[in-house]
A and B are shown apart, each in its own frame.
Chain A
Amino acid sequence: NAGVTQTPKFQVLKTGQSMTLQCAQDMNHNSMYWYRQDPGMGLRLIYYSASEGTTDKGEVPNGYNVSRLNKREFSLRLESAAPSQTSVYFCASSHRGNTEAFFGQGTRLTVV
């Protein structure tokens, strides 16, 4: 069972570079999420998609864009990376917004 798959697992960017984090789930879930986790801050929601075709901002959306490509895939894009975006990024999915979520293994991003 693949569950939630994120790529890449590690990435180093220079300030100003762009990149897209990919996420795919094979559980036929409706809802998908992007979180970032920083020391002392816990998991903070960046964007979420309650269903295919919809996306909504979370707690910390600035500097990010998302695309719900289809029911399986939800990507996160950094248009112009900044050192403040150095973090661990987790993608997650759930059947609905009020059911348990399952997480990918995370992407460790460093912006220098």
Chain B
Amino acid sequence: RKEVEQDPGPFNVPEGATVAFNCTYSNSASQSFFWYRQDCRKEPKLLMSVYSSGNEDGRFTAQLNRASQYISLLIRDSKLSDSATYLCVVNNGGSQGNLIFGKGTKLSVKP
């Protein structure tokens, strides 16, 4: 089993749609979880951290289920500018460890 697995995508949705991405991770000792966004030919950028209680940032909501080792990202009211690849990221090894990236899910929002 891969350390971090994501929906294969791509997701093609109309503007205004709600879209959800899922991610599972294999290391039950992982402490930190993030969603990153990567635009074509650019570096990944932090979208949001994921907390156990769930967290929301505007149109974006992230959820964590430690028991199932599952992370999700919900985007409401999709905009054309949301088109990008979304990367699920999980910490491996605590404060002396490193970050493991999923392969990403590509989102295309169409007019």
Contacts and interface: CB of A to CB of B under 8 A. Distances in A.
Contact of A104 (B43, B46, B98): B43
Given A43-B87, A45-B98, A100 B103 contact: no
Interface in B71-108: 87, 89, 91, 93-104
B45 interface: yes
B31 A42 contact: no
20 contacts: A40-B103, A42-B103, A43-B101, A50-B95, A50-B96, A50-B98, A56-B98, A58-B98, A90-B43, A97-B97, A98-B32, A98-B94, A100-B32, A100-B46, A100-B49, A101-B46, A101-B89, A101-B99, A105-B42, A106-B43
A97 B91 contact: yes
Contact of A33 (B98, B102, B103): B98
Contact of A41 (B31, B32, B100, B103): B103
Contacts, number: 63
A97 B94 contact: yes
B27 to A, nearest CB: 12
B21 interface: no
A100 B34 contact: yes
Contact of A48 (B42, B98, B102): B98
B44 interface: yes
Nearest to B99: A101
Interface residues of B, number: 24
A96 interface: yes
Contacts of A51: 96
Interface of A: 31, 33, 35, 40-45, 48, 50-51, 56, 58, 90, 92, 94, 96-106
Chain B at the A interface: SS class: mixed
Interface string B1-36: 000000000000000000000000000000110100
Interface of B: 31-32, 34, 42-46, 49, 87, 89, 91, 93-104
A104 B45 CA distance: 10
